[in-house]
Structure 1
Amino acid sequence: MMGKMREYTKGILYFLIVAFVALMVVEWGADYSGWSQRRQFVVGKVNGEEIDLELFNQAFRNARFSEEQRSGKNLTEEQLNSLRNQVWEQLVQRILLKKEIEKLNIQVTSEDVANYVRNGLYQQYQDNPNFQSDGKFDPKKVDEALADEANRQILLTMEAQAREELPYVKLQSLIYTSLFVTEQEIRDEFKQQNLKAKIEYLTVPLAAFADRKPETGEEEIRKYYEKNKEDFKNLEMRQLNYVYFSIVPTAADSAKIYHRAEEIKAQALAGKDFNALADAESEDPSAASNHGDLGYFERKDMVAEFSEAAFAAQPGEIVGPVKTNFGLHVIKVADKKTEDGVEKVRASHVLLKFEASANTLDEAQRQSGLFAETAREEGFAVAADQLKVEIKQTTEFANNKIGQIPGIGKIESALMWAFGSEKEAISDVYYTPQGYYIFQVANIKPEGYKPFEEVKEICQNRIDLEKRKAMAREYAEKFAGRVKAGENFQAIAQSDPDRILQADTTDYFGMNIFVPRIGRAPAITASAFNLPLNQPSGVLETERGCYFIKVKDRNQFDEEAFSSQREAIRNRLLQQKSRTVFTQWYEKLKEQAEIEDNRYRFFRG
């Protein structure tokens, strides 16, 4: 029993809690105690609470190790950038939630902890035969296991983790207090997923009027512009000058890495234990646990360059260095075999990544710092001239939530600086994995409306489109009487002297997908699932033209199937609502918070 209890411990605590809390506590492994002792390097602040460099880097290393262990691959630079941002967001979120718990004075009692652990175990062991009597779950057996002194340490561990989690569970419960799903919502969702219809249609395509030029005067266009002026609003825009000091590996850096790889290969060929070399030299995170041994793999499991070298070698052969997008590999092939007609190789490797040397990094940092200092004292252009660096310029851009600067990428803190600074202001040095940037505000275009002359053609095209839609509707109305009388759609289309009308029948389609051969047409979809069979509709307007429809076939609402799916649908809708409610609540909480992000000042990943 003790062994079974230990085996199932890992997943028990999280059965009630949403993933964001479990991820922050378990995956990042963040220690939030004793921050006041680690203030020398402050990465950021959240409502006055500091996130120091040690904490941030530890959380990032934990996350990176977990992700690379999960995928079995080294993360690309883009993935590492994304992961850094995820870690930052998780740390910010954790602090904000912790402060909200303190603000609401959420308390956890010993009884809360005991019930939480016990209920979690009950749910976890429902189908475990070790906790059943006469084929049914027996909660007494769980209680007996909890009372067993042999399981005491396991229980204490679970209780400690539960005590950490429960405040967040209680906060979550408060957020979701008024959350519910109505019976009608469940039925509507079932319909969306299960009902299908097939329709016959008669259409007046808008394209038939494409060559007709409506008469639209200057005054009419100007009135449209004034009425719809908000459509032509310009956001505040910025344009930046910038200089860039690269920290990508130089040719000399790459040559040193190649030289080191050749040295490692020579040591392996001389008889040095390959696993020991991997332990000492490999920059593959998995080497810490597998000593460089990749196990058996197929050709498709590895990047092409690696597979080509490994499968061409013989058992015992050492090959390389092999260059891939991960770096340089020295490979030792241990064995080859064929399973179910598939060739496999077992190999170990030592990975050396292409990274800039300390000298390259230091020189880029020194040069960028010197430029920033000179630029503030003597001007941006003067500094560029003295240090012989090129001044580049972005296109105009608006503020955006993702922190994107055109031509450069995502630097959220630099974007915030740009929209909080005056023209010709000079920034601090911003670090990215590609290098150091210093910016100057080159131009500011204030918020306002685009002038009439600039959007006149757009306004005219919109007016003309509405007039063509009116033409299509007017043309369709000429046939409305015949449609209402039940006349055959094909016959009506064939009798059209202008050959504009078209008739056809769709395949079956659902409520939440495009209508075949028509596209997205909410009015048609709504009619298809509400009209009686074979009863013609009135004129239905879409972006592609005007339609009459008749429902040829539609399956009925299946009460028995609905009953069997009802609870699953309810739970799914509840989860969707929960995610939406939490996201909205958290975004509001975050907007009201004072968040200072200083990662760019010293973070090198």
Structure 2
Amino acid sequence: MLQSIRDHAQGWIAWVIVGLIILTFALFGIDQYAKGDKIVVVAEVNGEDVTANEFLTLYSRQQARLKNQFGEMYDQVVKDEQLRDEVMDALIESEVVRQWADSHNMMISNQQLSATIESAEVFQKDGQFDQQRYQDILLQNGLNVARFEHEQRQFLIENQNRQLTMASAISNDTQLAQLAALQFQQRNVSYLRVDQRPFMQEAQITDDEIQAYYNQHKDDFITPEQVVLSYVLLSKKDLADKVSVDEATLKRYYQDNKDQFTQPEKRQASHILVKVDAESQDAEAQKTIKEIQAKLADGQDFAALAKAYSDDPGSANMGGDLGLFQQGMMVPAFDKAVFSMKLNEISTPVKTEFGYHLIKLTKIQPKKIQPFAEVKAEAETLYRRQQADKQYFDELEQLNTIAYEQADSLIPAADAVGLKIQTTEPFSRVGGDDEVTSNAKVLSAAFSEDVKKSGLNSTAIEISPDTSVVIRVKKVIDEKQQSLADVKVDIEKILKRKAGVKASAELAKTLREKLLKGEQKMADLEKDGVEYSNVGWLERENQRVLPQLTQAIFKAPKPKEGQSTYTTYALPTGDSVVIEVSAVKEGSLPDDKAQLAQMKAALVQLAGVSEADARIKAMVAAADIERKENYKTIKSAR
């Protein structure tokens, strides 16, 4: 069970991340689900459709993420068939959970929904929810409030389903000890790495093999559909640069906003900390504090006593000095004491989460209004930004309105706000290299029915908090099948690499068989192209070998009766390794109480995730599911 919990940890982290970004995700492409030439179904779950639009949206996003992660290694690491299966599994699971929530009348109250939306930073201004910003962002992304709030309510209901299961998770001391044995286990390891590159160089690829590969993988050699966009970019920075400023205006702004140019009062203090790590230590800590107070009353030096007694390693050697700080920078109780003291006064004991403090106030630096001459440049920046903020939202509304009302051209909208129409380089659905064509929301709009097929302007799209863009498609470049001559060199490289990977794996298998027979020791098998590494004792959390290799090492069988175990593993690079595990040390519970508490909390959390996943899998198994074959080959409309 505990190994299963470990294996689920990554899935739980992914779920939490999804929960944290859901509001931002909801702003991207939701309206496109409801659009298209016609509804194409890729699966049915209890009679409910999973559409091609839903599938392709998630598939494209995952594909783009993996390409960004693996770069040129993408084709070797990611199998398209497996990726499509994983995307389909995720969509089916989501639909099953949604249906279960509906059938059990699970509801999210208006108060819950409001609290979730208002706590999202994307809708906040100066740390507070801003209704106008909320509406502006939805408008910029082509969403109305009702539609957006419906989507949020659905997400919260699905998340509630998981939380119901996770809330019942428990753990015990035996499980904790077993988890520690796994988590902190060490293994004595050596390995041989068989380099694929020499085999690649030796591989001889024939024209017939190249032709056969081309015939079997023609879909991989299609230049994808591309578009060229015309766009109008509205930027607060550009607006700020154009704001007219003179000396008199800046002085008025300075006088009206002096608080922004006032350095707050700061105080400097020293302290002596006596830590309290547990309730049982409280009385002992108070006793120590009283001893220190008595020595201070006898006239002993505060700095000397701090060096002798303080449990704060950062300040003890400096006589307890904490430097200058302004109000609000320290924990509340400490902060309150410092800013209520007189100069050179020593406080009574102050209790915080760290323990007991004796504080001496050593300096008061009063607040100071900075002269205009010193802050003129800062005042100009702030004034320009203030004026640009006002102008930005006025022009954004005007831009959005005209782009919608006169949707067959960008010229009226651009002229209305005095902006130039710009043009992008051609780019595909994967995106381009600049801030406009690399933006996910721009990509979604550019290839949507309204913008690409119908030739209309988009609504204003926020590509950053300070920048929005309206786009229209200037040109569509159809996909094109590349000829064999165009890709022959690329195919030859692919086939040589495949040959190298295969030969490396075969040699690794041969070397493992020799080791199992006891014919030679691992170190004796090192030669050109075969590298020996004596790693020694290795823990799970290490930075000495690749994470994938670490995972393979700790999945390898344990040695028995002093006999090493040998396994092979293919690295993502294409090289193969032969792993020797010669001994194992089981981990033990940590002595650190805070770390132990964290482990207990993590165990309960991971157990809950494991139970929730198992429950959802059971729900999926009980559902009536029909997967259409078209999801294995379907592509975005071109």
Q: TM-score, normalised by structure 1?
A: 0.48
Q: TM-score, normalised by structure 2?
A: 0.46
